[in-house]
């Protein structure tokens, strides 16, 4: 049973007890609030990958016993990923690299224009600009008004696809999926849910909701082994242009002809990421088993976080719709100081990791008038109430007392003359992964 005071993480994660150096020379356990960008691996996921490694061989068409075991593992993973999102019997699961890969795949087969809101992640906005085109709307200030806006636009133009987030990666909010599906289908459009941020917190049922497609990433689901998936209706995927032309995507090839396979093989050219698929499927299994406990854990910690943030002068939590349902465990807020500097100080001086920037949601931040971005905190299966209290205390101290070290005046606001030693990892000689010290780096583009 989970700790009723939530002082312990709900699920064991790899690296949860890793000590990192801070500016004053101490080593501290990092409080990780950046899982909305990439989550650590569940211990069970890492163990399953280790268990599968001795059986690793070519997937599909191999006559050897190890190849046949590997193929069975891969196809079993496909089924379990589909089960996590309650796919319909005739839906298919295409294994991809991540959500971005999955949405780009769907963009190649979507037979018409798409509609989206400006709050979407870039992965849900950009792929359709390369194909049949897209329209991006500014939502209304209420959920009801936004649904009316979508309804009117769908009635005006014959869109093929409506793209919506399952949970905003900025605020954790979403439109009611049943209403979105109802109005899209009434106007002849299909619905893609960007599940990247949602599915690490809550499940989605394709069969129950009527959603046509969902895209997801393993690295958000505590399975950072380079796999994602697109799950949904078969016809567009069977008829559309192959996503990655190559071996495995065909049934026959001549010098001037090709017979393409049906989906999912049609879009999985080349040797597939077996271990990534195993990791993703295992994470789906673990999260499905912890579904109700995870919801209780996250609601409690998110509430504790918001209560703590309200005690700090000058902070403002970003919300999209005041009457939206309970967000997932993502909270974004503005601070009176440069958010990038605040994040750097929290990391270097307090071993607290969160995200600063615009989170690949530039149109939304432009509309909100926040060109410098904000700070984002994610609570999840690996978070404890002690972590939340530590974040709030460190944030209060940084904003009231300022940094103790010296930091760059621009760019990533990195610590100058960083004295923290590097871990003994092969090939690592600087904190940016290069073979030279971290000086004179190019200024990053905020995302």
Helices (H), 290-384: 291-309, 339-350, 362-368
Angstrom distances, CA of residue 420 to CA of 229, 351, 417:
38, 12, 9
Tokens matching residue 238: 């069977």
Dihedral, 339, 344, 349, 355 alpha carbons, nearest 10: 70
Tokens matching residue 121: 């992640």
Give the Cα separation of 183 and 84 in Å (integer).
Answer: 25
Strand, coil or helix: what is 81? helix
Angstrom distances, CA of residue 121 to CA of 117, 150, 447:
10, 18, 10
CB 380 within 8 A of CB 35: yes
CB 212 within 8 A of CB 191: yes
CB atoms within 10 A of CB 345: 26
* DSSP string of 5-61, one letter each residue: T--S-SS-BTTTT-EEE-TTS-EEE-EE--TTT-PPPBHHHHHHHHHHGGG----SS
Give the Cα separation of 339 and 355 in Å (integer).
Answer: 9
Angstrom distances, CA of residue 213 to CA of 88, 92, 93, 134, 308:
11, 10, 10, 17, 38
Active site residue 284: no
Choose the catalytic residue: 183, 351, 360, 361: 360
Helices (H) and strands (E) in the chain, counts: 13, 17
Q: What residues are annotated to the active site?
A: 360
């Amino acid at each position: 049973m989970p700790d009723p005071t939530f002082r312990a993480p709900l699920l064991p994660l790899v690296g949860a007890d890793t000590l990192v150096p801070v500016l004053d020379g101490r080593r501290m356990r990092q409080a990780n609030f950046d899982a909305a960008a990439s989550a650590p691996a569940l211990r069970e996921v890492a163990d399953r990958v280790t268990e599968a490694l001795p059986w690793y061989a070519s997937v599909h068409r191999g006559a050897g016993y190890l190849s046949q075991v590997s193929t069975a593992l891969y196809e079993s993973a496909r089924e379990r990923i589909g089960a996590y999102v309650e796919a319909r019997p005739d839906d298919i699961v295409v294994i991809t690299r991540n959500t971005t890969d999955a949405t780009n795949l769907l963009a190649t087969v979507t037979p018409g224009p798409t509609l989206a809101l400006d709050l979407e992640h870039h992965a849900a906005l950009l792929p359709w600009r390369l194909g049949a085109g897209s329209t991006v709307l500014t939502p209304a200030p209420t959920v009801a008004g936004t649904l009316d806006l979508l309804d009117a636009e769908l009635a005006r133009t014959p869109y093929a696809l409506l793209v919506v987030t399952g949970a905003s990666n900025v605020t954790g909010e979403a439109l009611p999926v049943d209403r979105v599906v109802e109005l899209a289908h009434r106007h002849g459009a299909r619905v893609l849910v960007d599940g990247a941020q949602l599915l690490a917190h809550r499940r989605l049922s394709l069969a129950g909701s009527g959603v046509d497609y969902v895209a997801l990433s393993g690295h958000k689901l505590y399975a950072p082994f380079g796999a994602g998936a697109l799950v949904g209706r078969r016809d567009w995927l069977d008829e559309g242009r192959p996503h990655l032309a190559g071996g495995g995507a065909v049934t026959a090839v001549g010098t001037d002809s090709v017979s393409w396979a049906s989906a999912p093989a049609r879009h999985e050219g080349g040797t597939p990421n077996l271990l990534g698929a195993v990791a993703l499927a295992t994470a789906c299994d673990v999260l499905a088993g912890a579904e109700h406990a995870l919801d209780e854990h996250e609601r409690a910690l998110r509430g504790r976080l918001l209560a703590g943030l309200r005690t700090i002068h000058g902070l403002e939590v970003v919300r999209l719709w005041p009457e939206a349902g309970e967000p997932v465990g993502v909270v974004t807020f503005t601070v009176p100081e440069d958010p990038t500097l605040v994040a750097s100080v929290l990391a270097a001086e307090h071993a607290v990791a969160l995200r600063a920037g615009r989170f690949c949601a530039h149109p939304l931040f432009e509309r909100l008038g926040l060109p410098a971005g904000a700070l984002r905190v994610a609570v999840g299966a690996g978070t404890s109430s002690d972590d939340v209290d530590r974040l709030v205390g460190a944030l209060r101290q940084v904003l009231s007392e300022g940094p103790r070290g010296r930091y760059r005046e621009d760019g990533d606001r990195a610590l100058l003359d960083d004295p923290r030693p590097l871990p003994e990892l092969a090939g690592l000689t600087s904190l940016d992964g290069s073979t030279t010290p971290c000086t004179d780096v190019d200024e990053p583009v905020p995302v």
